[in-house]
Amino acid sequence: MVLLFVLLLAGMASALPDDNRTIIHDPLPAGERVPIFLVLSEQPEQLVSFNQLKTDALGRQTQVVQSVRAVDPTAAKTARSYWIANAVWLEADPATLDRLAALPGVDHIEPDLTVTLSDPVAEVASTIGPDYIRRPQIGYATVWSVDYIEAPSVWKNGTTGEGVTIAIIDTGIDGSHPAFGDRITKFADFINGDNSSAYDDHGHGTHCAGTAAGGTVTIDRYGDKYDVALGVAPGANLIGAKVLDSRGSGNFNTVLDGAQWAIDNGADVVSMSLGAYVTDDNYEGGFSLGEGENRTVSLNVSSEMVGDSENLYEPQFVIGSVRVEDYTTAAGYDAPDLLENLTISVTDARGNIASGAEIDWLGFDSKKNCYYFKAPYASNTAGWDGVWEINITNTGAVPVGIDRVGLSECYQSGGETILDSTINNMVRGGTVVALAAGNEGWYGTATIGTPGTAKDAITVG
């Protein structure tokens, strides 16, 4: 995973139980405008070249923007064209959405969602420890991950990435990192507009760039010096598009900015370690349950994602979470099982208490104070649309502090979103695109986030 993940180790905006991402807030505060994409009806069936794709898309969008001006003049002033997926981004008055969707030439409207990282990598180092080094043959050394996938056997044939340009569309790249030398040839910042030099105020993009194309550095190991190759393609050039902020978060529109920029600047390979796994959540916490007391949290679950009348996102499962306060003592001793006195039940939209046939009760967390469950859509279709409830009852004699309890409905792209189309068009134009599947495999199946759902991408888990 460390390897190809270069291109995407973390990425995905995952539906973590600790996240709280509602797609479109309804109702919106008075005067607030919503960022959307008008996706045009005419999409390319065959891609001759990126230049032709650009010419055709921008030509078709002229009339659409003029029509927008008649419906919502303020929105027309914010309009930005995207040729990679033939769409127009703008900030619209929510009251005009139906009229905008009905404009001639518009196929549908999509919300400008947020993509994030879920990568466990927390920091990037400028040195490497000896435990990570492997020396498969006399004369060279590399890191364990590169050796594990047998990249050195490819290097023997003279293939080290030389002459190839890899675009890292991420949080940026640290241009001063010793692993890259002078191989970062171009950089664009779509978050802060700082294009003076390549930088990374998060670290994830640098991590991905290093896995993909970290070069050879000299290290001292017990008095002996070694030249250690760090990346899979240590001879490749890098270009970096910063589309995620210092928290590892960004919107679809900045990802499209980075994708178009990468194509315009000759990327042969594109790495996107990011994504969106959409959730609708309801959480409560910070309360105590005494003997015999109970608490119920409810969530209005729907087979149609909020704001998605075109069914671009498909329901996958409901995740429930219970987290109690951890009373681990200062001396380091764990308290008894903190969940043993809690009875947890789930009721579906028909009012039926879900059984083992409908719900995976195995749990997904080894910590004593956490418990999760999953109710797959495929097993709960009949009772899906409506209000779901999770009920917790304290059957013990002592109070239990509840840190958090909640329900989340999780959706997955059906492969037809604007990001999916963007990736498919890039691949059809001859660009290799590697994407993150996401790191939510502990939920089981159906956890691939957008744009990893694009059918033509290389999606890595």
pLDDT in tens, 113-131: 998 886 666 567 777 776 7
Strands 269-272 and 432-436: parallel
pLDDT (tens digit per residue) in 135-167: 766 667 898 989 999 999 999 889 999 999 999
**For position 362, what pLDDT does the model report?**
63
CA-to-CA dists, residue 131 to 5, 126, 134, 142, angstroms: 21, 15, 8, 11
* Cα–Cα dist 345/358, whole Å: 12
Task: Estimate to the nearest angstrom the gap between the alpha carbon of 182 and the chain centroid.
Answer: 30
Beta carbons of 412 and 448 less than 8 angstroms apart? yes
Residue 29 structure tokens: 């505060």
Query: Are the C-beta atoms of residues 420 and 451 closer than 8 Å to each other?
Result: yes
Residue 133's pLDDT band (boundaries 50, 70, 90)? confident
| Cα–Cα dist 318/299, whole Å | 10
- pLDDT of 29-49, one tens digit each? 556 999 999 999 988 777 889
Beta strands in 59-172 (DSSP E): 80-82, 87-92, 106-111, 114-116, 133-137, 140-143, 165-170
What span, in angstroms and rounded, lies between the C-alpha atoms of 353 and 376?
15
| pLDDT of 427 higher than 80 | yes
Q: Once rounded to an integer, what is the mean pLDDT over residues 105-113?
A: 94
| Residue 141: per-residue pLDDT | 85
- Retrieve residue 128's tokens: 């490497």
Please, what sign has the CA dihedral across residues 421, 201, 166, 160?
Answer: negative
Strand runs (DSSP E) across 175-277, as ranges? 184-189, 216-221, 224-229, 237-242, 249-251, 269-272
Residues in the chain: 461
Beta-sheet pairing, 140-143 with 133-137: antiparallel
pLDDT at 10: 35
